[in-house]
Amino acid sequence: KSLGEAGQIEPETEGLLVENGVDFSEFNEVVLQCLPQDLPWAIPAEEFENRRDLRLDCIFTIDPATARDLDDAVSCNKLDDGTYEVGVHIADVSYFIQENTALDMTAACRATSVY
């Protein structure tokens, strides 16, 4: 199978993915049906009792422009003593993934993001 011209980023990336058995296909309809269907969705207020709410903090993504998900981020805050606190933030999507669903099984098999 020809993936494209050597030296071009897209075919080179696809070649690496294929060579290493990484599934980068689109999600099928069964998996997509596991996602919230009522839009816009909202996280129930009681869920915030189990989580630290950082929505008002200045946090920004470090994912590339080509990312299909924005789930990696950093923050930086100057503390009272003049030092800085650097935060590394990874999205927690566990609220949306019910155990043993098609989405859970697919995520476990893939276990990676591809850009």
Q: Label residue 3 by pLDDT band (50, 70, 90).
A: confident
Q: What distance in Å separates the CA atoms of residue 18 and residue 2, rounded to the nearest whole number? A: 12
**pLDDT value at residue 92:** 83
3 state SS of 14: helix
Claim: this prediction has a pTM higher than 0.75: no
**pLDDT value at residue 114:** 57
- Each residue's pLDDT tens digit, 46-89: 988 988 889 899 999 998 888 878 889 999 999 999 999 999 99
